[in-house]
Structure 1
Amino acid sequence: MNKVVVFQLGNEQYAIPIEQVVSIEKMAAPTVIPQMPDYMLGVVRIRGELVPVLDMVKILYRHSYIQTEKTRLIVVQTEDLVVAFIADDAKEILDIPSEAMKKLNMLAYRQTPYFLGVANLPERLITLIDANRLFESLEGMQVIKERIKENQS
């Protein structure tokens, strides 16, 4: 059984293992930090900590998210820091039976090693993401780490 937090990006549903998720927050306007990668919109303060806000739509689909009243920040703990991914909607916490998980062996997924697999459920497909691998795979992620550490000292 895999316990995950399910969220919506456009018409697709994705999930992050619950042990990587710190919290789900309402969208807050990020403070812009100049010269950051285009998918990083800035930082927000969550429980006194500066957290980089990353546009998941931009990362996965190369266009910007559109904010609605359902837009949420999925706050996740990576190996090095806490980051917030923007999602169109945070759906639910779900138990995915191990037998519903399908590994991805398609060529395209070699370029997306952060996809852990797809949950093949009766009514829907949910792509599982390893938040740590996703963050580590982003171009410019080192710059983000350095700037956040500077701002926290």
Structure 2
Amino acid sequence: MVETSKVVVFQVGNEEYAIPIRFVISIEKVEGITPIPHLPDYMNGIFKVRGELIPVIDFERVLYQRPSNINELTKIIVIHTNELSLGVIVKDAKEIIDIPPEKIKQLGLIAYGKTSYFTGVANLDSRIITLIDPLKMVQSLDGIKQIQDFMAAEVNT
């Protein structure tokens, strides 16, 4: 049997990206985000999912330095890493698909520090989907230590 990668495909800007499904806790509507002052500009605030407070980042800000245009298609993908759980605002969460390994090409840009979390590109018929390692993405965010400290303080109060 050929090993495939099951991923959640989502849109940011005009591009498609994917995160391995094993990191995805849920996909939520964008509502109930509480802004927190003095955190990095890519962080919209925190919101509650199943009783847990989760920091929310705007992935369009992370990738393209511009805020997401939030509408009825906009979603928050809640992901879990060893570092922390967080919500990622995306233009649209599209589908869950299996990507065969032969369709995944490694990127020559891996060495570039700001995109170290791009692990490859899936070349599917008329689509190009950039694959993301959520753990590396979280670790690459400027100010993530302050967010982790803030969330730890919130949990302990």
Same fold (TM over 0.5): yes
CA offsets 1:30-77 (integer angstroms, 9 cap, x no match): 101111000001000000000000000000000000001000000000
Aligned to 2:28: 25
Secondary structure of the equivalent of 1:111?
helix
Aligned to 1:83: 86
Aligned Cα root-mean-square deviation (Å): 1.2
Deviation, structure 1 residue 106: 3.4
Aligned residues: 153
2: CA distance, partners of 1:110 / 1:54: 19
From 67, 70, 74, the counterpart of 2:73: 70
Structure 1 unaligned segments of length 5 or more: list them. none
Residue 107 of structure 2 corresponds to residue 104 of structure 1: yes
Quick check: 1:109–1:115 contact (8 Å CA) kept in 2?
A: no
Deviation, structure 1 residue 78: 1.3
Spell out the pairing of 1:125-140 with structure 2 (5 A cutoff): 125-140=128-143
Deviation, structure 1 residue 149: 0.7
2: CA distance, partners of 1:128 / 1:107: 12
Aligned to 2:42: 39
Aligned to 1:60: 63
Structure 2 unaligned segments of length 5 or more: list them. none
Aligned AA for 1:36?
A: L
TM-score by length of 2: 0.94
Secondary structure of the equivalent of 1:34?
coil
TM-score by length of 1: 0.96
Residue 55 of structure 2 corresponds to residue 48 of structure 1: no
2: CA distance, partners of 1:102 / 1:35: 39
Residue identity (%): 48
CA offsets 1:94-147 (integer angstroms, 9 cap, x no match): 000100000001377443110010000002000000111101100000000000
Regions of 4+ moved over 2 Å: 106-111
